[in-house]
């Protein structure tokens, strides 16, 4: 076990900062509590298990596995110490109010592209609940138990596993051939994709978009958590335009174009504004059709 104690530069809301790494109640890779967290992951040096304990502005981190030292070296990024929330100028009163209400919320940076891409691909074009179930099944079916006494903590599939699994192995967890093929490409190109972490945002986005099956929505979802990109907007999201338009303009319906117009005053910090709106914004009552859930397990 390796240990590191980190004194934070400002208050930290541990749950809301790391919540984007949790993919529903079926996610076996992470557990969050108000002042503690467990997370299993694959680092550049191998598997790591991280335990965090928050006491005021002090975080005590314990890590196990071959990736333990790498994990602790990058701990400040994970906890948003390199994030700059003061770069946001809250022009709109609602945004200003949300900044005041959530002072400890930061944008995490995991420095792990493939790990962020896998759940994003799983979530393409399906309901959140369905995606969370599929992701949990994928991890348990093709990942591995984390090196910890807790038998319920798992690590997601390794890139070589993603690359070599035949399509029919993805089917029982709920993935059709299109998304399965995208995951297989990600596995094959893992090293090249991971290199995007060190690139400027536009270059990183271009590298991800060059992979067939990764569009703007998937790239933004991954870059926001892997690189801590404060401007990565998930264009193509089913609910996001309405949330932004209703919160900032009182409009009940909107498309991506309208959402981007409303977010334009915050260019450079648009992902931060969206995160704040997700935490405390207002969406109109749902009166239209919902995105239907679907299952392919028996197809």
Q: How confident is the model at residue 264, as a pLDDT?
A: 97
pTM score: 0.93
Whether 245 is covered by a domain: the verdict is: no
Q: Can you give the residue range of the structural domain that contains 214?
A: 113-226
* Long-range pairs for 27-31: beta carbons < 8 A, 24 or more residues apart: 27/132, 27/135, 27/136, 27/139, 28/136, 28/139, 28/140, 28/152, 28/153, 28/154, 29/139, 29/143, 29/146, 29/153, 29/154, 29/155, 29/156, 31/153
- Same-domain status, 189 and 152: yes
Q: Distance between CA atoms of 85 and 105, rounded to whole angstroms? A: 9
Q: Indicate whether 123 and 200 sit together in one domain.
A: yes
Last residue of a domain, one of 226, 261, 285: 226
Check residues 238 and 264 and name the one with the higher pLDDT. Answer: 264
Q: Report yes or no on 283 lying in a domain.
A: no
Same domain, 120 and 182: yes
How far apart (Å, rounded) are the C-alpha atoms in residues 91 and 93?
7
Query: Are 77 and 142 found together in one domain?
Result: no
Q: Domain tally for the chain?
A: 2
27: in domain: yes
Q: Where is average pLDDT lowest: 92-101, 104-113, 247-256, 288-297?
A: 288-297
Does the pLDDT value for residue 289 go beyond 60?
Answer: no
Rounded-to-integer distance, Cα 44 and Cα 66, Å:
10
Between 27 and 282, the more confident residue is: 27
Instruction: For residue 101, tell me if it sits in a domain.
Output: no
The dihedral sign for the CA sequence 165, 141, 195, 73 = negative
Residues 124 and 219 in one domain: yes
C-alpha separations of 21 from 17, 41, 107, 132 in Å = 9, 11, 11, 12
Tell me, yes or no, whether 261 lies in a domain: no
Q: Tell whether 96 is covered by a domain.
A: no
Query: Which has the minimum average pLDDT: 134-143, 207-216, 239-248, 289-298?
Result: 289-298
- For residues 133 and 53, membership in a common domain is answered with no
Do 73 and 118 sit in the same domain of this protein? no
Q: CA distances (Å), 145 to each of 40, 141, 149, in order?
A: 9, 10, 10
**Residue 46 CA neighbour count, 13 Å, CB half:** 9
Position 251 confidence tier, pLDDT thresholds 50, 70, 90: very high
- pLDDT per residue as tens digits for the range 145-171: 998 877 789 999 999 999 999 989 999
């Amino acid at each position: 076990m390796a240990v590191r104690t980190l004194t934070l530069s400002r208050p930290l809301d541990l749950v809301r900062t790391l919540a984007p790494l949790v993919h529903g109640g079926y996610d076996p890779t992470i557990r969050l509590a108000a002042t503690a967290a467990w997370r299993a992951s694959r680092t550049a040096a191998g598997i790591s298990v991280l335990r965090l304990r928050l006491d005021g502005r002090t975080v005590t981190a314990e890590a196990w596995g071959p990736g333990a030292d790498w994990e602790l070296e990058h701990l400040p990024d994970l906890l948003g110490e390199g994030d700059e929330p003061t770069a946001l100028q809250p022009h709109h009163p609602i945004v200003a109010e949300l900044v005041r209400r959530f002072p400890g919320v930061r944008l995490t940076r995991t420095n792990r592209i493939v790990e962020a891409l896998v759940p994003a691909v799983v979530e393409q074009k399906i309901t959140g609940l369905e995606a969370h179930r599929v992701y949990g099944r994928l991890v348990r079916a093709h990942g591995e138990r984390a090196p910890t006494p807790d038998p319920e903590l798992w690590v997601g599939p390794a890139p070589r596993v993603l690359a070599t699994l035949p399509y029919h192995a993805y089917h029982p967890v709920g993935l059709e051939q299109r998304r399965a093929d995208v995951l297989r490409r990600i596995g094959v190109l893992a090293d090249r994709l991971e290199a995007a972490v060190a690139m400027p945002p536009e270059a990183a986005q271009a590298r991800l978009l060059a992979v067939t099956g990764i569009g703007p929505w998937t790239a933004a979802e991954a870059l926001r958590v892997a690189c801590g990109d404060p401007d990565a907007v998930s264009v193509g999201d089913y609910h996001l335009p309405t949330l932004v338009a209703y919160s900032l303009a009182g409009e009940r319906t909107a498309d991506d174009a309208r959402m981007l117009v409303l977010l334009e005053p915050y260019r450079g910090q648009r992902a931060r504004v969206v995160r704040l709106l997700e935490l405390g914004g207002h969406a109109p009552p749902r009166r239209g059709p919902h995105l239907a859930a679907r299952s392919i397990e028996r197809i």
